Amino acid sequence: MKTVYDFTVKNRAGEPVSLSEYKGKVLLIVNTATGCGFTPHYEPLEAMYKDLRDKGFEILDFPCNQFANQAPGSDDEIHEFCTVKFGTEFPQFMKIDVNGETADPLFAFLASEKPFEGFGKGLKNAALKKFSDMNNKTFGDKAYIKWNFTKFLVDREGRVIARFEPTVDMKDVRKAVEAAL
């Protein structure tokens, strides 16, 4: 059975990192953007990281510019923005694509393990769905991720156990992380 530990990604310097380095930890893998309405998620993500990393928790941050060009900077510019504005300390990797023919294989795997089930109810969620559908129509069946700040929770054995769309309250994400720990 395939797990996230079977994947290798690139750090901000472009060097390969095997996700097997995170064996035994609970992971929250997130595609992010610095110019998105959900960018403030960095604050509760960093708070969760500071509170729980000593218990075996890691957040893996993958910037992506495929959603309305909301992460246009270089890897270094994105990292500087996150560390200065939000004080992030969790690992940030090289900017990637999460959809289409150039999608990073890790995100194709994550989405196949926990497919999109909707943004939820309400006007805000309906508006995001409409915008997401327009943005992702060019990716067809390879529109794995619907928007920035989609989060995947991975257990200590490398299995994907939950998917959280950006519309999910961060308190609910934290509860799920704490339960996995």
Q: Residue 38's closest CA among 147, 115, 152, 137? A: 147
Beta bridge mates, 130: none
Active site residue 36: yes
What one-character DSSP code corresponds to residue 153?
E
Which entry of 36, 78, 110, 162 is annotated as an active-site residue?
36
Q: How many CB atoms lie within 10 A of CB 137?
A: 9
Q: How many CB atoms lie within 10 A of CB 156?
A: 14
Q: Which residues are catalytic?
A: 36
